[in-house]
Amino acid sequence: VDELISHSLFSVEGGQAAAAQLLERGCTGIVCASDLMALGAIRACRDRGLSVPADVSVVGFDDSPLIAFTDPPLTTVRQPVQSMVTAAVHTLLEAVSGAPMQHSELIFQPEFIVRGSTGSGPKILR
- Residues paired with residue 30 on neighbouring β-strands, in sequence order: 58
* 14-27 pLDDT tens trace: 999 999 999 999 99
**pLDDT tens readout for residues 47-98:** 999 999 999 999 999 999 899 899 999 999 999 999 999 998 988 888 898 8
Please compute the mean of the pLDDT values over residues 100-125 and round it to a whole number.
84
- CATH superfamily, domain 2-78, is Response regulator (3.40.50.2300)
Judge whether 88 and 108 are in contact, CB under 8 Å: no
Per-residue model confidence (pLDDT) at position 109: 94
> What pLDDT sits at residue 14?
98
- pLDDT exceeds 70 at position 125: no
Break the chain into its structural domains and give their ranges: 2-78
Give, in order, the Cα–Cα distances in Å from 98 to each of 65, 95, 101, 122: 37, 5, 8, 58
Q: Which of 80, 78, 81, 67 is nearest to 117 (CA)?
A: 67
